[in-house]
Each structure stands twice: as C-alpha cells, then as structure tokens.
Amino acid sequence: MKKRILDLQPYKPGKSPEDIKREYNIDKVIKLASNENPYGCSPHVETTVLSSLHDTATYPDGYATELRKKVSDHLHVDENQLLFGSGLDEVIQIISRVLLCEGDNIITANETFPQYKHHAIIEGAQVREIPLDNGSFDLDGMFQAIDDRTKIVWICNPNNPSGTYLNEETLVRFLEKVPPEIVVVLDEAYYEYVTADDYPNSIPLLAHFNHLIVLRTFSKAYGLAAFRIGYAVGNAQLIEKINIARLPFNTSTFAQQAALAALEDQDFVKECVRKNAECLRDFQQTLQRLNVEYYPSQANFIFVRMASPMELFNFFLKKGYIVRPFPNGVRITIGTKEQNKEVLAALEDYVKGHVFN
C-alpha cells in the first residue's frame, strides 16, 4: 500500500438532517452546509430523466456526445476541449492522477477546496499551501512558491470557503507569468452565481493560455449535485492526455440527460442566481449592522468570521440549521428567502446574546 494514504482521512460527510432531528428532538432541519441549490433544479430535468429510464441495460455514451455538443455550443469551444467527470470531484482526481508524479508539487491556498490537496498527497506530490490574503488567493505568494517540480497551480474562483474572487486583470497577469509547462486549474464551481463585473471571462482566455484549465459543474447553480456531473475545458492536446485516465463510462446516461435538460433551461438558473444575489445582499447588510466580520461573497454561501466557530455552529444546530464550521469561522449556504430570514434572526439572537452576557 502507498504509505502516504495512511496520513489521509476519508471524506467525512456532515451530520444528516435526520441525525439532527433525532438528536435535538426537533422536526424541522435545514441543511446549509454543502452549498446546494435550495430551489432544486429545472423542472425539465425530471421529465427528461424519467423518459430515459427505460434504457437501463445499455452502457452510457462514454463520449457524452449530445451533452458535449451542447456544452461546446454553450461555451463556444471545440468539442475536443471538454472532459466530463462524475462531478468535479472526479475531474480533480483525474487531473491529479495524470499530471503528478512522486516528488512533484502543487501550489494552492491554505483555505480552499480540500480535494486538490487530497489527490496531490495520494499521487505523492508535495502541497504548497499559500495563506489566503484577507480571504483572497495571494497570487504573488503563489508565484514565488513555484519551482522546477511544480506541476499544477489550483485556484478556486470564487473561493470555497471564503466566497471571495479574483478579478480578470489579476488573473491574467498571473497567467502571463506562470511558465507554460505548469498547468493552472481554475475551479469555477460557483461561476454562475458571480455578479461582479470584473470577474474573469475565463473561457476566451483559453485561446491565449494553453496551460489553463477551467472547471465547471452542474452541482451548484444547476441543482444537479445528486447526478454527479461536471467538466473541464482546456487546450485540446492537454485534455486529450488527461482523458486517458478517465474511466470509459464515468458519467451515467441519466446524469448526461439531466445536464442537457438543465443547460436548456437558462431561465431557471438566472432566477436562482437573482434570488441568491438578493439574499446574499440581505445577509451582508445584516452582518454589517451586527458588526460581525465576514468575507464579501460572490457565491451561494458566506463565510462568517468568528473566534469560536464551534459555539456558533452548535447554536445553529440546536435551532435546526446545519452550517459548516472551519477553524476561524463558519460557512453558511444561502438558502431561500424564508430560510435566510430565519437564519439571520437566529444569528442576531446569537450576537446579541454575546453582547449582553
């Protein structure tokens, strides 16, 4: 066995709403811990997937032909620039598996999506975690950490868990400096939610930077987390090599159908994004009024900074809200308008309780 595996922990899912209901004897629990879409997915997804349920005995289309065509039209890229995975989780695994050898290194931030590090360790690569600078990726620090064994730079934009983003100018300056043999992976899992004008328009950048790979998923704004489907977009030659490590039937017929239907209903996504932006604005205004520190977010979650995050986590839990604790705060998924109101009222109770105790 690879000895380094013993240093790692398997992914530990948070407590389920059912666990919490039993434990605290409450009947309403809202999970705001995994940045799932509180509005579900487009209604077209259900009809489309149900109509393909008769076809269970045949293997899925390993090339995801129909979906590939649709996504390539949607993004204005060539079909051979795409690689589909069973969620971005799998895409991250495949990229790591292909690009990393023992003794190589990756560069990323210290508080970001944990799978970049996890797979680097499995492949025997060293992980250089550059501290976030006020919640944002420190690209200068990351550039300085590059050496001749660096193979991948992982950037999450907007970043999970901080919700902050890098603008196009900052990103382009970085891409221009990074040597072309080092792959820069831009994880845009929350791309659809961003409202900032200077957020990078990353797909056109692929024409200028052959070492750039952009990741997108159907799990967040499209509301298809249960189906497991996401993709990478990059230079065709690079994608072709990475594709070698992909399992032949890694995305199911139903996931492909669901993604197709979801992509066709852009109005649904737009509406989710609009509601999210509204709730996010209310959330940030309340935090300002209560004098609670947070990172300004462009995603469907917000990182509230707290000296004792477990205390706030447990406070929320008793009230039936599952949020995600981190060493320096909690990450709260933006729910529906009604959920948001309730969560903000609870947060206000918590903060006021602290002032007067």
Ligand X SMILES: *Cc1c(COP(=O)(O)O)cnc(C)c1O
Which positions from 17 to 56 touch ligand X by CB under 6 A, shown as an x/- string? ------------------x---------------------
Q: If DSSP codes are grouped into helix, strand and coil, which group holds residue 245? A: coil
Q: Does residue 306 interact with ligand X by CB under 6 A?
A: no
Q: How far apart are CA 64 and CA 83, in angstroms?
A: 9
User: Which residue stretch of 55-63, 86-94, 120-128, 275-283 sits at the interface with ligand X (rule: CB under 6 A)?
Assistant: 86-94
* CA quadruple 310, 313, 314, 319: dihedral, nearest 10: 170
Q: Does residue 93 interact with ligand X by CB under 6 A?
A: no
Instruction: Name residue 142's beta-bridge partners.
Output: none
User: In angstroms, what is the minimal distance from the CB of 189 to ligand X?
Assistant: 4
In the complex, which residue's CB is closest to ligand X?
Answer: 87
The two beta strands, 329-333 and 301-305, are antiparallel
User: Which residue stretch of 87-95, 130-138, 307-315, 340-348 sits at the interface with ligand X (rule: CB under 6 A)?
Assistant: 87-95
C-beta neighbour count of 38 within 10 angstroms:
21
User: Which residue stretch of 16-24, 81-89, 166-174, 344-352 sits at the interface with ligand X (rule: CB under 6 A)?
Assistant: 81-89
Taking alpha carbons only, the member of 31, 300, 278, 66 closest to residue 192 is: 300
User: In angstroms, what is the minimal distance from the CB of 354 to ligand X?
Assistant: 30
Please give the residues from 194 up to 233 whose contact with ligand X meets the rule CB under 6 A: 217, 219, 225, 230
Q: Does residue 157 interact with ligand X by CB under 6 A?
A: no
Q: How far apart are CA 357 and CA 337, in angstroms?
A: 30
Q: Which of 113, 199, 254, 268 binds ligand X (CB under 6 A)?
A: 113
Q: What angle do CA 166, 168, 174 make, to 5 degrees?
A: 80
- In the numeric block, which tokens belong to residue 197? 């004008």
The two beta strands, 105-109 and 150-156, are parallel
Indicate the residue among 156 and 258 with the shorter CB distance to ligand X.
156
Q: Check: CB of residue 274 under 8 Å from CB of residue 312.
A: no
User: Which residue stretch of 45-53, 82-90, 94-102, 323-331 sits at the interface with ligand X (rule: CB under 6 A)?
Assistant: 82-90
Q: Does residue 189 interact with ligand X by CB under 6 A?
A: yes
Q: Which residues bind ligand X (CB under 6 A)?
A: 35, 87-89, 113, 156, 160, 187, 189, 217, 219, 225, 230
